Chains A and B, each alone.
Chain A
Amino acid sequence: MSSNGNNGTNGNLPPGIKLPIYMDNHATTPTDPRVVEAMLPYFTQHFGNAASRNHQFGWEAEAAVETAREQIAKLIGATAKEIIFTSGATESDNLAIKGVAEMYREKGNHIITPVTEHKAVLDTCKRLEKYGYKVTYLPVKPDGLVDLNQLKDAFTDKTILVSIMAANNEIGVLQPVAEIGKLCRERGVLFHSDAVQALGKVPLDVNKMNLDLASLTAHKLYGPKGCGALYVRRRNPRVQISAIIDGGGHERGMRSGTLNVPGIVGFGKACEISRLEMPQESARIAALRDRLKDKLTGALDQVFINGSMEHRLPGNLNISFLYVEGESLLMGINDVAVSSGSACTSATLEPSYVLKSLGLGDDVAHSSIRFGIGRFNTEAEVDYVANRLIEVVSKLRELSPLYEMVKEGIDLSKIQWQTEGH
C-alpha cells in the first residue's frame, strides 16, 4: 500500500492510528476474539457431527448447536426450533423465497419486493419469473423507504409473499418492518425480511414485527463467514417451505447438509454478545457516525447524504461528494477501506442501482462513498478518516472541471454532454 506513494501522513500518524483502517463493516466484520475463542474447541476437541446420534462426539456437537440456536433465536424474539441453519444469507434468501413460492404455488404466484433489495433477493425473484411467477418491484421514496400506500396497492388475491429487507446494505435505511408486517398479516400474506444488516444493530422482534421468515448471517455481526440462518415461523401461522437442497433431511427437512458446528457456535456467541451490548454499542457507533458526518459536512460544500438519516443503521453513512468521482476518491484514501457506488468500482461498470432508485442522477451515485462503522472503530480513526477525506476531496475538486463550472455559476444540466459510447 505504501508503494502507492500518496500516504504522505504514514510516517507521522496521529496516536492510536494503525493503517489500514477498516470502515467497510456492511461488507463484512472482523470476527470478535470472544467469538473465535468460543469456536476453537469445536474444530479439534468437539469436532463431532451434530447428526451423529449414537456417540458422545455427536451429542456434544448437537448440544453446542442447540445452544447456538437458542442464542440466535433470543436476539430476534423467536424460539430455537424456528432457526434453520444455512451457509449464509444468500442461501437463506433463496430458501425463503423459492421455498415459499413452491410450497404455496396453488395459493398464488405473486411476490412483492422493493427495487433496493440485495441481489440475493432480486435475482431469486427474477428466476421465479422465468417459471411463471409474477413479481412487483416496488419503487422507493427519495429517502429510500418503501411507501406503505404503494405496498397496499400492490397486493393482489394471488400475492403469496412480500420480501422487504430490514436495513439496506448500501444506504443503511431501516424499512418500517412492523407496519409492513401488519399489512401482510391482515391480508394473510407471508412476510420475509432479509435482516442481515439489521441483526444485532437494531432491535428485531419477529412477533412484534409479524415476521414469518427472516434471513440472518453471522459475518455481519462479528461472527464467522459461511454461516447463516433462516428464521421460519412455527405458529400463527405455521410457515412451510420446500427445501432447495435435498439430502439427509437435516434441519427438519428444510435444509440438508452436515452442520457447520464451529461456525454455528460462533454465530450463537456473536448473537449473544450483540444482544447484551447492543444498547451501548449502538449509541457509541451512532455517535462516531455523526461525528464523521458533521466533520465532513462542516468542512466541505456540495455534499449530499443518500437515504434517510432518521431511519438508519447507527453505523451507516452514505455520502456523495459532488463533482468528485468515487473511485478516484478511494484511490486517494487507499489506507482506508470503504466502498463506493461509482460504476468504476463495480463489476458491472454500472453505478449503484440502490442510489439510482432514490431518483438521484448517475453523477450523484458516481460520487458516493459508503462508510460502515463498526465495533472496533475508534474516535481517533473517525477523525483521521475525516481529515484524509477532506484533504482528498479538496484536491480532486481542484482537478474537477465540473466543480469549477458550478463555482462559475454554470448549470451543468444545460450542457450538451456527449453521452454515447462511454
Chain B
Amino acid sequence: MAYSNKVLDHYTNPRNVGTLDKSSVDVGTGLVGAPECGDVMRLQIKVNPETHVIEEAKFKTFGCGSAIASSSLATEWIQGKNVEDALKISNTDIVKELSLPPVKIHCSVLAEDAIRAAINDWKKKHPEAHAAAAQSEVNQAEVNTTA
C-alpha cells in the first residue's frame, strides 16, 4: 500500500508522543479502540482551568501507520484550541489532511473518538465546564435569533 507523504511524516516523526498525569484534575484521558482490533489510541489533554484552552496534548497509539498519523495529527490540531472548538474536529478533516484511503477511514474515526473521550473525561472532572458550554450555546442561539 502506498502511504501519503503526510502519513509517512507523522509516522517517522510523530508529534507529541508521551504521557500526562491522568490523576491531575486538569488532565483528560481518552483511551479508545481495542487490542484485538489492532488499534488502540490514548490521547491526553491538559486544559487551562480558566480559559478551557488545551495547553498540551499527548498521545500513544498501538496501530498501523495511518492510526499513528491520525492521532499525531489530532494532538497537533487540538493544542491551543479551547475544548469546544476541539470537539468540532471531525474524522473527515483528518481523512482529507492525511489523504487516507477508504480502508483507513476507521483510523480517523478512532482519532475523533479519542479527542471526544479525552474531553469528556476532563469535563467529568469539571462540571462547571458543562454549564459554561451550555451557556455559550444559549448565547449562540440568541445571536442566531437576533440575526
Contacts and interface: CB of A to CB of B under 8 A. Distances in A.
Interface string A403-422: 11000000010010111011
Nearest to A323: B62
A328 interface: yes
Contact of A331 (B11, B35, B37, B40): B11
B31 interface: yes
Interface of A: 3-6, 323-325, 327-328, 331-332, 342-344, 349, 351, 361-363, 366, 398-404, 412, 415, 417-419, 421-422
B87 interface: no
A358 to B, nearest CB: 15
B61 A399 contact: yes
B134 interface: no
A422 B8 contact: no
Contact of A400 (B37, B61, B103, B109): B61
B6 to A, nearest CB: 11
Given A5-B12, A400-B62, A422-B110, A328 B40 contact: no
A324 B65 CA distance: 11
A351 B38 contact: yes
B33 interface: yes
B35 A363 contact: yes
B138 interface: no
5 contacts: A5-B9, A342-B64, A399-B14, A399-B17, A422-B33
A417 B113 CA distance: 13
Given A325-B38, A328-B63, A362-B37, A418 B11 contact: no
B36 A344 contact: no
A328 B36 contact: no
Given A325-B64, A401-B61, 6 more contacts: A6-B8, A6-B11, A327-B64, A328-B65, A362-B35, A362-B36
A419 B37 contact: yes
B38 A366 contact: yes
B106 A422 contact: yes
B4 to A, nearest CB: 11
Interface residues of B, number: 34
The 3 closest A-B pairs by CB, nearest first: A417-B34, A362-B36, A363-B35
B137 to A, nearest CB: 27
B18 to A, nearest CB: 9
B19 interface: yes
Which of B39, B40, B62 is packed against the most chain A CB atoms within 10 Å? B62
B53 interface: no
A366 B60 CA distance: 17
Interface of B: 3, 5, 8-9, 11-12, 14, 17, 19, 31-42, 60-65, 67-68, 103, 106, 109-110, 113
A398 B60 CA distance: 8
A362 B37 CA distance: 7
Nearest to A343: B38
Given A344-B38, A419-B36, A422-B33, A324 B12 contact: no
Contacts of B110: 422
A323 B17 CA distance: 16
Nearest to B7: A331
Which of A328, A332, A398 is packed against the most chain B CB atoms within 10 Å? A328
B110 to A, nearest CB: 7
Contacts of A366: 35-36, 38
Given A401-B60, A402-B62, A331 B38 contact: no
A398 B37 contact: no
A363 B63 CA distance: 11
Contact of B8 (A5, A344, A404, A417): A5
Nearest to A342: B38
Nearest to A4: B8
B17 A398 contact: yes
A327 B63 CA distance: 8
Contact of B42 (A361, A398, A401): A401
Contacts of A331: 3, 8, 11, 64-65
A340 to B, nearest CB: 10
Contacts of A363: 35-36, 38
A418 B38 contact: no
B39 A422 contact: yes
B17 A349 contact: no
B8 A328 contact: no
A366 to B, nearest CB: 4
Nearest to B61: A399
A22 to B, nearest CB: 19
Given A327-B64, A328-B64, A401 B41 contact: yes
Which of B9, B40, B106 is packed against the most chain A CB atoms within 10 Å? B40
A324 B62 CA distance: 6
A412 B9 CA distance: 30
B35 A344 contact: no
A417 B33 contact: yes
A412 B36 CA distance: 11
B63 A325 contact: yes
Contacts of A332: 11
Contacts of B40: 401-402, 417
A412 B41 CA distance: 14
